[in-house]
Amino acid sequence: MSGEDESLKDKIQLCQLLLDAGDLIKSATTLKKVVDSALAIENYKLYLEAQTMLIRIHAERNEFELLSEVKDQIQEQVINNNLELNSKTHYTLGVSSMYKGNTEQSQKHHEQALQMALKSDGKEDICYAIYGLATVYWKKGQYDLALKEIYNLSVLFQAVSVPKLEIASMFLNAGILRHNRKYEQAIDIYWQIYDKIKVHKNLFLYLKLMFFMGAAQLELGDKSMAKVYLDLARKSVDAKNLVRLHSQILEKVQELGDVDESRFDLILKLENNQVFEKAKGKVDFKSQFILLDLLKLFVQRPGEVYSKEDLVKHVWKQDYNPSVHDNKVYVTIKRLRKLIEPDYDRPKYIFRAKNGYFLNKNINVSMN
């Protein structure tokens, strides 16, 4: 392996450490550079490894447009014959299809990944392909087939060490047990996962575990224990990085009936598009959906600066044109401020940066 290859491999390991620590934003920034560099030196193994990590990051951050872009980039390489159609390629495309909700296409990719891995006797690739199939069967409600693949994985893990994949398969197993109302068995598996996470020191997986433990305890009927785990997860999760997990935690906390809404400055209830501000109470948007979409965008990522180009793309779904959109953005921000700011002349929520606008990251917001 050349010096350039070694350097990229080190960067991927760094990105994995950042991901494990829950810093998905910084990890994604470096991974995008790795993708470009790996293509430049035609190291497609590292290219796919980086893209697979990006797919998972975009899915966790609900960045489905970016997820689609990654899949398109991989398929473009395949079409141009610059990327070998191997087991890892199909696995990566299968993961992308799964996150986009296309289980049939995902299953085809994972079946092809398994066939190629078996042919080359790549044991780690076999594990990934089987896990991919197990997740497909889980999503399709074919739990017996999913459990069969999970059992096959448990046998393989005795011969090949893939710790994070083993933990992922255990999470999947526990999820199926919960679906079948075998809550105590699921909790037993979660404790086994806890023992493994202690060894690998993965904050992201730890937070997921606290959430799932809380959910399982709630389903078991033990609200006091559910509160312990869900409160720990809620207080520890970084909403800016772990967007999906944060949303799942809040949803389960509400199901617990233990959300003290008085502690939030701003609350968005997505089910009925209601907005509550701490001082003003319910804010009436009067079917002003552009303003509501703009607020949702800000609340999803407090502290992130959105340029005028970003706002036009995400809110109006148009290409930015200064002569058309500069004033439109300014006026729309002004209208939103008048709706939600308790004191318009001393804004609390939306601020202007040098290159755009952002929501104050020091306020307590809830979107559920």
Candidate from 185-189, 253-257, 307-311 with smallest mean pLDDT: 253-257
Average pLDDT over every residue of 151-176: 94
Distance CA 178, CA 181 (A): 5
What are the pLDDT digits (tens) for 116-140?
999 999 999 999 999 999 999 999 9
Q: Cα(127)–Cα(130) distance, rounded to whole angstroms?
A: 5
Residue 325 confidence (pLDDT) above 60: yes
**Which residues on neighbouring strands pair with residue 266, listed in sequence order?**
277, 365
Structure tokens at 254: 């509400």
pLDDT band at 156 (very low <50, low <70, confident <90, very high): very high
pLDDT surpasses 80 at 272 = no
Contact 99, 125 (CB under 8 A): no
Q: Identify the three-state secondary structure at position 21.
A: coil
At position 167, the amino acid (one-letter code) is I
The model's pTM is: 0.67
Q: Amino acid identity, residue 237?
A: V
Contact status, residue 86 vs residue 71, Cβ threshold 8 Å: no
* Mean predicted lDDT score pLDDT of the chain: 89
Q: Residue 259: what pLDDT?
A: 52
How many whole angstroms from its chain centre is CA 266?
A: 23
Domains and CATH numbers, the chain: 1-82 (no CATH), 265-367 (1.10.10.10)
Q: What is the Cα 121 distance to its own chain's centre?
A: 32
Between CA 101 and CA 99 the distance in angstroms is 5
CA distance readout (Å), 103 to 141, 147, 184, 304: 11, 17, 29, 33
Q: What is the pLDDT of residue 130?
A: 97
> Which of these ranges, 83-87, 154-158, 313-317, has the smallest mean pLDDT?
83-87
pLDDT band of residue 226 (cuts 50, 70, 90) is: confident
List the structure tokens of 172. 């999947």
For position 96, what pLDDT does the model report?
A: 85
Mean pLDDT, range 103-113, rounded to an integer: 94
Sign of CA dihedral 183, 184, 186, 190: positive
What is the model's pLDDT at position 258? 52
pLDDT at 48: 86
Strand-pairing partners, residue 353, are 356
pLDDT tens for 169-212 read: 999 999 999 999 999 999 999 999 999 998 888 999 999 999 99
d(CA 324, CA 302): 27
pLDDT score of 99:
84
